[in-house]
Amino acid sequence: MKELWKRKDLLGLQELSSEEIQLILDTADSFKEISLRAIKKVPALRGKTIVNLFLEPSTRTRTSFELAAKRLSADTVNISASASSFTKGETLKDTARNLQALKIDILIMRHSAAGSARFLADILDASVINAGDGAHEHPTQALLDLFTLKQKKGKIKNLNVTIIGDILHSRVARSNIWGLTKLGANVTVAGPATLMPVGIERLGVTVCTDVNKAIKQADAINILRIQMERQKTNLFPSIREYRDLYGIDLEKLKNASKDILVMHPGPINRDVEISSEVADSSYSVILDQVTNGLAVRMAVLYLVAGSAAVLEVN
Amino acid sequence: MDILIKGGRIVDPSQDFDCIADLGINMGKIVACGSGIKEKANKVVDATGLIVVPGLIDMHVHFREPGMEEKETIYTGMRAAAKGGFSSVATMPNTKPATDNEGIVKYILTKTAEKPLINVFPVAAATLARDGKQMTEIGELKKAGAVALSDDGDCITNSALLRRILEYAGSLDMPVLEHCEDPVLSGQGVMNESIMSTILGLKGIPAASEVVMVARDLTLCKMTGSRLHIQHVSSAGSVELIRWAKSKGVPVTAETAPHYLVLTDDDLHSYSTMLKVKPPIGSKHDREELIKAVKDGTIDAIASDHAPHLHAEKDVEFDYAPFGMIGLESSIPLIMETLINPGILDFKDLVRLMSLNPANILGLKGKGSLKRGADGDVTLIDPEKEVVLTKDYFESKSINTPFLNWKCKGAPTSLFVSGKQILKDEKIIG
């Protein structure tokens, strides 16, 4: 398996082939079982140092990466924006070079600036894993979404997947679009026109501003978090209207397939983009996504760590 | 006479001249232009195989002095200009403090005169502190030596104020150079809004940000009848409006920059901050329309918008890097390589766009021409010279250029300013 992975970094799904995506999903499948054990640890990355550099707030992704690293026996360090030298005016490049001087093996970074993961990957010998860079990509989120889809639906090819909400600002949407289209799914993006990025249809997706229409044929919907402050910049008039037109509730799901999957990258705004009934319903696989995220991130860490690591799953 | 430039191909559209001939300079002025000049000269320059043109003028540069001397000084800026074959430049007023009073205009001229290399023509701010609220003392600025007015870097968004500035400056025969951008439409954008900004996840600046202000400016230009010059035109939409306005006799002129003629937003795929510039580099369609516009005269001038920034300022995340790239040294090699060598533009176009028209727009007497009596500013271009734009090629204090290590065929090799040789064999000797 490992020989198939040649990359130092995981920066996005745009640059991955469908084989590489499949490899990560298959590897994740073999890691899933570890978290079900009484002793949830394998020595695969023993002696590796992994730094979590999170310059934007994150609970889920950061915890998931940290647990993934620990279950592979790596040593982990967390750095957050408020506690870092960024507050003292150090540049990202200088921070990264200092980490390099400490001989780290893998840097996991979340940053509000698009392209920042690539910026560091080009400088550092260490592997860089993009845990979200601005509105660019969030590859591990899309990978765990793909993993969950495959787990629940048995396949990805020819599935109809609708991504709903703030596509404009969403790295999750972009990574999902790359991943889903590469694996042969039919992707629709739905939401207000103000939250649709220019030219998105050129990525091979269908654009639909009517959510009811967009979910009708869907095998799965991926509901994006709506940031409350967006209404201040006139991207939509009010939360009330957003909920009414684009929020997913049981009423809207009446027209959808009976076995539709409801996904959400979290954190959810209950009763805004997703009603509580839907979030807690049998349609929802939101917590499965979180569980699967751990296996996917273990797989990614394992693959980028390269040939020095030894797989000792069993 | 002092200098005889012999046997070059003299291209001078001001007198519709394009043939192998000789050029004589005496006491800093052109004294003869024609074939077989027999008069003895103190110094004879063999220009065989070279293109001899009126000294090039870059009407849009940022020399950062006073205030940001770590990026560029007037002296290093002049060296960059000389290296690029420019005998004259117009410096933008976004110095610190802004060039909004006679003192700073005179400071720039004094600094230029301390170690003179080329001609520096200061452009003064149109509003105090360039904050778009109060008109500067335009008459006093003109007396001090400013050649034009601009709040470059910022658009004068208050339409009533721009109207008054146009009327007032027009009465003093001072052109107003406008940076056309609706700052609200641009928002926090960092690149052209397009499929590329969507893929890269970078905030987009819609082309409309420029176009709406061009439309407004053309309307005010028509209304006042005063001369308005639109800076660094970057989009097809602006070209279309300017073409329409010119057809109606509106006294507007316009410039674009080499990077808009050479690059497209597809080039941003690597997130290189060297490509972060305002207005942003447009689409392939924008570039095609801009090339047509420089060819057909809709756009009058090519100016570099030479904007030096420190390496450390650019060596950051794309969002945090400042806008701007240098351009003085690379302008001619790039235009040679991408527009002249493929036959899209000819040397007559080049002189029109980079000497004759800038001289006319800025009212620079004795510039832009090799007629007898004109200033002895002459640029020699070797069309066969192959250059690599390595770090060492640049004289600017900053090297923020996306064209580093580009190979180009055709470069300026000699420059005379008022009859004094400043550049010889691509080296500054002034």
Q: In this complex, do A115 and B197 lie within 8 Å of one another by their Cβ atoms?
A: no
Cα–Cα distance for residue pair B66/A118, rounded to 1 Å = 36
Q: Note whether A117 and A168 are same-domain residues.
A: no
Q: Note whether A250 and A261 are same-domain residues.
A: yes
Q: Which residues of B are catalytic?
A: 305
Is some CB atom of chain A closer than 8 A to the CB atom of B285? no
Q: Note whether A295 and A211 are same-domain residues.
A: no
Q: Note whether A133 and A145 are same-domain residues.
A: no
Q: Note whether A247 and A295 are same-domain residues.
A: no
Q: Note whether A112 and A182 are same-domain residues.
A: no
Chain A residues with CB under 8 Å of B199 CB are: 14, 174, 203
- What are the C-alpha distances in Å from A314 to residues A67, A134, A304, B308? 19, 38, 20, 59
Q: What is the pLDDT of residue A2?
A: 55
Is some CB atom of chain B closer than 8 A to the CB atom of A199? yes
> What is the extent of the structural domain holding A242?
139-289
CB A78 within 8 A of CB A97: no
Rounded to a whole number of angstroms, the distance from the CA of A44 to the nearest CA of chain B is 33
Is some CB atom of chain B closer than 8 A to the CB atom of A135? yes
Asked if residue A75 belongs to a domain, the reply is yes
Q: Note whether A145 and A285 are same-domain residues.
A: yes
Q: In this complex, do A133 and B201 lie within 8 Å of one another by their Cβ atoms?
A: yes
Q: What is the pTM of this model?
A: 0.95
The closest CB to that of A115, out of B198, B200, B204, belongs to B200
pLDDT tens over chain A, length 314 residues? 556 899 999 999 999 999 999 999 999 999 999 988 999 899 999 999 999 999 988 889 999 999 999 999 999 999 987 766 676 788 999 999 999 999 999 999 999 999 999 999 999 999 999 999 999 999 999 999 999 999 999 999 999 999 999 999 999 999 999 999 999 999 999 999 999 999 999 999 999 999 999 999 999 999 999 987 777 788 999 999 999 999 999 999 999 999 999 999 999 999 999 999 999 999 999 999 999 999 999 999 999 998 444 444 43
- Where would I find the beta strands (DSSP E) of chain A? 49-54, 75-80, 106-111, 127-133, 160-164, 186-190, 206-208, 220-223, 261-263
| Tokens coding B141 | 């600025």
Chain A residues with CB under 8 Å of B316 CB are: 91-93
Is some CB atom of chain A closer than 8 A to the CB atom of B318? yes
Is some CB atom of chain A closer than 8 A to the CB atom of B194? yes
The closest CB to that of A118, out of B204, B271, B316, belongs to B271
Q: Note whether A226 and A93 are same-domain residues.
A: no
Asked if residue A313 belongs to a domain, the reply is no
Question: Nearest Cα to A253, choosing from A228, A275, A224?
Answer: A275
Chain B residues with CB under 8 Å of A93 CB are: 315-316
Q: Note whether A84 and A19 are same-domain residues.
A: yes
Q: Considering chain A, what percentage of its residues have pLDDT values greater than 70?
A: 95
Which of B197, B200, B285 is the best residue to mutate to test the A interface, defined by the most A CB atoms within 10 Å of its own CB?
B200
Cα–Cα distance for residue pair B335/B286, rounded to 1 Å = 17
Asked if residue A245 belongs to a domain, the reply is yes
Q: In this complex, do A174 and B315 lie within 8 Å of one another by their Cβ atoms?
A: no
Asked if residue A42 belongs to a domain, the reply is yes
Q: Note whether A212 and A88 are same-domain residues.
A: no
Domain count along chain A:
2
Question: Nearest Cα to B120, choosing from B132, B128, B108, B130?
Answer: B108
Residue of B nearest to A92 (CA): B316
Q: Note whether A206 and A263 are same-domain residues.
A: yes
Residue ranges and CATH numbers for the domains of chain B are: 3-51+375-428 (2.30.40.10), 56-362 (3.20.20.140)
Cα–Cα distance for residue pair B291/B338, rounded to 1 Å = 11
Tokens 């921070």 belong to A95
Read off the pLDDT of residues A51-92 as tens digits, 9 standing for 90 and up: 999 998 888 999 999 999 999 999 999 998 776 667 678 899
Q: Note whether A52 and A132 are same-domain residues.
A: yes
Is some CB atom of chain A closer than 8 A to the CB atom of B184? no
Is some CB atom of chain A closer than 8 A to the CB atom of B312? yes
Residue of B nearest to A123 (CA): B315
Q: Classify each residue of A186-201 as buried b or exposed e, where b means 16 or more C-beta atoms within 10 Å of its C-beta.
A: bbbbbbbeebbbbebe
Chain B residues with CB under 8 Å of A112 CB are: 319
Q: In this complex, do B317 and A137 lie within 8 Å of one another by their Cβ atoms?
A: no
Read off the pLDDT of residues A199-221 as tens digits, 9 standing for 90 and up: 999 999 999 999 999 999 999 99
Residue A102 belongs to domain with CATH number: 3.40.50.1370
CB B380 within 8 A of CB B412: yes
